[in-house]
A and B are shown apart, each in its own frame.
Chain A
Amino acid sequence: DIQMTQSPSSLSASVGDRVTITCRASQGIRNDLGWYQQKPGKAPKRLIYAASYLHTGVPSRFSGTGSGTEFTLTISSLQPEDFATYYCLQHNSYPWTFGQGTKVEIK
């Protein structure tokens, strides 16, 4: 099974900050990776697909990079509505696996 190691597990940041979250796959997954945002009590929402493509309706301050084993989600200027938990998901092979999550909190 492919393991996804996500870091950091949490971070504190201020509105306007640049935030970077990383996922590392235990083996190469090409660009078969998505990033999701989840707020308390809600279903996850996809932000990025195929590692670097912005999902429909997602603000351009979100971006994704990477291929193979190293992937990054960047929020260029953190907004109040961005405080949430973020997950990566590999869909290269079954079983699909999520990263452990990164909780972005207000500093």
Chain B
Amino acid sequence: QVQLVASGGGVVQPGRSLRLSCAASGFSFSSYPMHWVRQAPGKGLDWVAVISYDGSNQYYTDSVKGRFTISRDNSRNTLYLQMNRLRVEDTAVYYCATSPTATTDYWGQGTLVTVSS
């Protein structure tokens, strides 16, 4: 079955960096775009970034442009989110997600990032 397992979250000080990973299995990872979506505590869902199936294209929400970088390693079936210059407002649960076809939609369990001094 399809699994998306996010990891790498933790507590970090403002201005520091963190890299999230999302290990995928059960589907053809290298064939589909992958997304990161976040949710601040008690708040709504916030789409963060997407990367094309081959890594050649990326798009970001305005608030993370220039600070976050989405990447993937198709040989390892793994998605990444490099987060630099972290801010308190980046505190959230980060989900990796994909919709390989119109009728399929998969989300990981999320990993919590807390930015605090």
Contacts and interface: CB of A to CB of B under 8 A. Distances in A.
Interface string B7-47: 00000000000000000000000000001000000001111
A74 to B, nearest CB: 20
Interface residues of A, number: 24
Contacts, number: 52
A36 B102 contact: no
B53 interface: no
Interface of B: 35, 44-47, 50, 59-62, 95, 97, 99, 102-105, 107-110
B109 A43 contact: yes
B105 A98 contact: no
Contacts of B45: 36, 38, 44, 87, 89, 98, 101
